[in-house]
A and B are shown apart, each in its own frame.
Chain A
């Protein structure tokens, strides 16, 4: 069985016929050609596959493409405004919030979710908010600094 799905990814509308078992992560990577979204543990624990579905964070390795039919999906490639990086992307760069970079797309989208629900989190709240995303390189210190900086920049930009 194949099922028609229409999914808007980063503002671009896609239409495909897919097998119901196709995961959203593979839809984005293989049919959307957007390889920023990573599949890490494939068991919804590591968070590298995190994307936004209608603005809310989700693990795309544990979501079927058919479940996202009609939805607006945002991946790491959709966060920047043209050539201007999102403040989270800038601050991960400035603060060295990554080493190998594999967890970074999911980490930034999880941080985006955190700041959507809590605009000025404490360090403890940042750590708690990122509990679903594993980084095996950095030890998290610079990730927390990056999110803290981004929150401050975004708050300043809002004023």
Chain B
């Protein structure tokens, strides 16, 4: 398959990428290309130009900053999955990044490209919502920060402006909490049929630990990641085991509503029926790690 013809410009810095974006209306940014190139080949996207930011070194770092993580937009899934800092402070993100596609895909695909592409079957959006991430973007109007919960607006839609570039993802440290990502992946593409991210805090008192705070988000079967507030409320004040866990997971039906995505591989009804199973696994895994913390 061949993409339609396009012009190609290579940016050496964030500032240069911004200038190129302003000069070439309708241009798309190219990082690893693992979301964009398939769209170009299918001609679902026919941009007049690509601006390659893949060599902008300042976007590559993963760093600890002010008690949280700053992950450059060009960090690859492989780099995130094996980063000690990410594993310690945002275990669910390392876990999700390590399950994207396959090793060769993880070597090239980037967090920035993944997030800006906003595929509903992507793994990272639900994780970023559950972990309370913010996305740093820069454009003609200057820099701004967008909560992950406000960033994803629909199927392949985000609140990113045409002239804006996603530069980094900031994640508050989840140290002390337990976080996990559990997915039901499509066996060939490895895209998420259902993906659930959870972050759970437990009290440290005597006796059985009780959930003091939970943050849960689900993706794969919805246009954009959905924060599961009904699940979270059902968990709070309860010991995360047995019936309480199952009851909390069942509450995901309220969070999802009735309008689910389906395709030839998994119908909407099927996904809705299986969702509580994956919610339960995710919160159980997160709670298990919180206990160890």
Query: Chain A residues in contact with chain B, CB under 8 A?
Result: 1, 3, 19-21, 23, 42-45, 47, 50, 56-59, 62-64, 66-67, 110, 113-114, 117, 129, 131-134
Please tell me which stretch of B37-45, B56-64, B145-153, B265-273 contacts chain A, meaning at least 4 of its Cβ atoms lie within 8 angstroms of it. B37-45
Q: How far is the CA of A134 from the CA of B189 in the complex (A)?
A: 11
* B residues near A62, Cβ cutoff 8 Å: 33-34, 37-38, 105, 108
- Is the beta-carbon distance between A132 and B105 smaller than 8 angstroms? yes
B5 at the interface (CB under 8 A from A): yes
B214 at the interface (CB under 8 A from A): no
- Is the beta-carbon distance between B105 and A67 smaller than 8 angstroms? no
The chain B residue sitting closest to A22, CB to CB, is: B2
- Is the beta-carbon distance between A110 and B103 smaller than 8 angstroms? yes
* A residues near B101, Cβ cutoff 8 Å: 44, 132
Q: How far is the CA of A83 from the CA of B233 in the complex (A)?
A: 66
- Is the beta-carbon distance between B6 and A59 smaller than 8 angstroms? no
B90 at the interface (CB under 8 A from A): no
Q: How far is the CA of A57 from the CA of B106 in the complex (A)?
A: 9
- Is the beta-carbon distance between A58 and B52 smaller than 8 angstroms? no
* B residues near A113, Cβ cutoff 8 Å: 103-104, 107
Select the residue from B5, B34, B38, B104 with max chain A CB neighbours within 10 A. Answer: B104
Q: 8 Å CB contacts to A: which residues of B1-55?
A: 1-8, 10, 30, 33-34, 37-38, 40-41, 50, 52, 54
- Is the beta-carbon distance between B8 and A66 smaller than 8 angstroms? yes
Known: A58-B108, A132-B101. A44 touches B38 (CB 8 A): yes
* A residues near B8, Cβ cutoff 8 Å: 1, 3, 20, 64, 66
What are 19 residue pairs bridging A and B, where the CB atoms are less than 8 Å apart in the complex? A1-B5, A19-B5, A20-B6, A20-B50, A21-B3, A21-B5, A23-B37, A44-B101, A45-B188, A47-B104, A59-B104, A62-B34, A62-B38, A62-B105, A62-B108, A67-B33, A113-B103, A113-B107, A131-B102
